Amino acid sequence: MTLTALITGGAGGLARAMIEALSDDGVICVAADRDPSALERLKAEKPGVLTTVADVANSETCAASVAYAMKETGRLDLLINNAGIGMSSLRGDAETTLPSLEELSDEIWDQFFTVNVRGALAMTRAAFPHLKRSPRGQVVNVTTSYFTMHRVAPYGPTKAAMESMTAIFAKQFAEDGVAFNVLVPGGATDTPFVSDASGFDRSKLLKPSVMGPPIRWLASRAPKEFTGMRIAGQDWDQSLSEDEAAKKAARPAAWPELAPTPAWAK
The answer, yes or no, to whether residue 266 has pLDDT greater than 60, is no
In percent, the amount of the chain with pLDDT more than 70 equals 91
**CATH classification of the domain holding 96:** 3.40.50.720
Q: ∠ at Cα 170 (114, 110), nearest 5°?
A: 10
Average pLDDT over residues 141-155: 91
Q: ∠ at Cα 188 (185, 190), nearest 5°?
A: 90
Band (pLDDT 50/70/90 cuts) for residue 259 is: very low
Looking at residue 184, its pLDDT comes to 95
Main-chain dihedrals φ then ψ at residue 20, nearest 5 degrees: -60, -45
**Rounded CA separation 75/52 (Å):** 16
State if pTM tops 0.85: yes
187 vs 82 pLDDT, higher one? 82
Looking at residue 241, its pLDDT comes to 97
Q: Give tens-digit pLDDT for 202-249.
A: 777 778 899 999 999 999 999 999 999 999 999 999 999 999 999 999
When divided into structural domains, the chain yields a total of: 1
Which range marks the domain in which residue 58 is found?
Answer: 4-265
